[in-house]
Amino acid sequence: MEIIMSVAIGFLFMAAVYLMLSKSLIRIIIGTGLLSHGAHLLLLTMGGLGGNSPPVVAEGVSVSDYADPLPQALILTAIVISFAVTSFFLVLAYRSYQELGTDNMDLLRGTEDYE
Amino acid sequence: MSNLLLFPIIIPLFFATILMIFPKRLKFQRIIAAIAAGTTLIAALFLLAKVNADGVQAVTLGSWPAPFGISMVSDPLSALLVVTTSIITLFVVFYSFPTIGVKREQSYYYPAVIFLMVGVNGAFTTGDIFNLFVFVEVLLMASYTLIVHGGEKPQLRESIKYLLVNIISSALFVAAVAFLYSVTGTLNMADLAVKIPQIEETGILTVIAVMFLMVFGFKAAIFPLYFWLPGSYYSPPIPILALFGALLTKVGVYAIMRTYTLFFTMDIAFTHELLGIIAILTILAGCVGALAYFDVKKIIIYNIIIAVGVILFGIAQLNQPGVDGSIFYLLHDMLIKASLFFLVGIVAVLFGTSDLRKMGGLIKTYPFLGWTYLVAAFGLAGIPPLSGFPGKLLIVQGGFEGPQFWGSIVILATSLIVLLSAVRIFIYAFWGEPVETVPLKKSVFNQMFIPTVILVAITVVFGVGAELFMPFISGAGEVLLNPSIYIDAVLKE
């Protein structure tokens, strides 16, 4: 199972890098979304996948037989943060498109304002 | 166990929430923002006194035993940084009154500034590496708001890049935390410091250490990850620029300082030598930029990068003078960068441009401004007895005592370039043929100038009275060099 997850994470990172290297702003934003998905899955996998075992130590469950709850807490926090950042990024992209009239990163270099 | 160390985080959080409710009331916004920064400063000073008297303070939230709950730790270094952060935020709030403009003030400017302080103070205080990530995101979210605040075209354009760089570094941060957790099984910094020396395979840990160096390097703007900084910092108005220049990169520097002294010490010959080399390259790259531009803001922005290199070089030596010097220089740099940005902000307002070639002769009309600038510039370059000198002296001494003596020679040589870059502003803006300045009301000028002069005076006191502050600095250095003090304070509750 860990192997499959690792392949999926690697694929997500690859797709994210490909999308982030393109010129269109909306593709870049989708790329950042995929990148954070990859990082979150990595967090979950690195904590060790628990299979069917419950993430709580209750009566009758030995310590060796339960899933580590910490990666799940961490991933939840990270998901909330990346959700907030992605929504901010989308609003920013929309507003920049209105103001600047383009979503092409080549035209957003800003060299004309610099010396 | 004392809850005092949580106050510098909770007080601004509380006031920022109140500020968000009444965005249109100008007077209310200004007063509450000043009160928020002021009370935080008082709480931070109490905390510093407490840490100085009773040693490292630690609280683990929710009454969990130490390695399982989220620990908040205040050692002398983090207490000193929290105090400095509060001072700078207070002065930025005062400086914002005349400069930022009513329209910005009425659209959630002060809440964002105070939230930024929440994140920075939290990042300096936390003792858990994932909690560090959360506080860094808090301060980044506030900084996203500030960098695009006002929505001018250059701001929108640059904030896209700033946001993208920080999202990538945050994803890397999560990945690095995941690797660290899978190897050690803990994220509490004190517990990491116990567990890491017990792991025999140091190879994987070295990889993780370098990953964290990359993550924090993005925030701290080290070579070659500083590429985003000059463009992004150039676009927002001066008070925001001063806040960013003084605080944001320093969070990355602090995180490198903490991780590279507390637990990533398993292969010093590789990781710390790498850090030293990168630090020197950062200084050189910053010097090129500081000399290349004729724009006052750009020159000071590149000086941020130089200072980051100097501080990290001291840490890379991992000996007593080097670490003490780094801490001193870090505090000095936060204060001096804020005051320099304030000063060039006034100069840019007076001339209506930030291009040096269109300036001149200001010493005739504003002599006091000129001399204040000169004092700050000398402080930046480290001319004794001003505040840049003791820190740089100790860092250079640390370099000569360590293996990388050539780095000390580079730092000494580049001090002259720093001096040249800062004095060039003085020569172009204050000497020469007087250029017509924008008429400015005396009261407005004073509102801008008084906080600036007080901040410069603080840096002068910090330099001239270095002997007074040295016990605090060496106390902080002692904790960094002896991780057992930190570990005992957290784990033996």
Specify the amino acid at residue B378: F
What pLDDT is stored for residue A112 in this prediction? 56
Contact criterion met (CB below 8 Å) for B362 and B430: yes
pLDDT digits (tens, 9 = 90+) for A7-34: 999 999 999 999 999 999 999 999 999 9
Check CB contact of B231 with chain A, cutoff 8 Å: yes
pLDDT digits (tens, 9 = 90+) for B296-340: 999 999 999 999 999 999 999 999 999 999 999 999 999 999 999
Q: Look up the ipTM and state it.
A: 0.93
Question: For residues B200-230, b (16+ Cβ closer than 10 Å) or e, as one string?
Answer: eeeeebbebbbbbbebbbbbbbbbebbebbb
- The residue length of chain B stands at 493
> Which of B142, B158, B140 has the alpha carbon at shortest distance from B232?
B158
Q: What is the mean pLDDT of residues B21-33?
A: 93
Q: What's the CA gap between B132 and B130, in Å, rounded?
A: 5
pLDDT digits (tens, 9 = 90+) for B108-166: 999 999 999 999 999 999 999 999 999 999 999 999 999 999 888 889 999 999 999 99
pLDDT digits (tens, 9 = 90+) for B423-468: 999 999 998 888 888 888 899 999 999 999 999 999 999 999 999 9
> Which of B92, B116, B97 has the alpha carbon at shortest distance from B30?
B97
Identify the weakest region by mean pLDDT among A41-55, B149-163, B408-422: A41-55
Give me the total of CB pairs closer than 8 Å, taking one residue from chain A and one from chain B: 99
What pLDDT is stored for residue A104 in this prediction? 87
Contact criterion met (CB below 8 Å) for B242 and B87: no
- Domains in chain A and their CATH numbers? 2-50+68-100 (1.10.287)
> Which of B126, B127, B125, B155 has the alpha carbon at shortest distance from B143?
B155
Quote the minimal CA–CA distance from A109 to chain B in Å.
8
Q: Which residue of A has its CA nearest to B156?
A: A96
Contact criterion met (CB below 8 Å) for A78 and A40: yes
Is B178 in Cβ contact with A46 (below 8 Å)? yes
Check CB contact of B170 with chain A, cutoff 8 Å: yes
| Nearest-by-Cβ selection for B178 from A42, A89, A108 | A42
Contact criterion met (CB below 8 Å) for B307 and B204: no
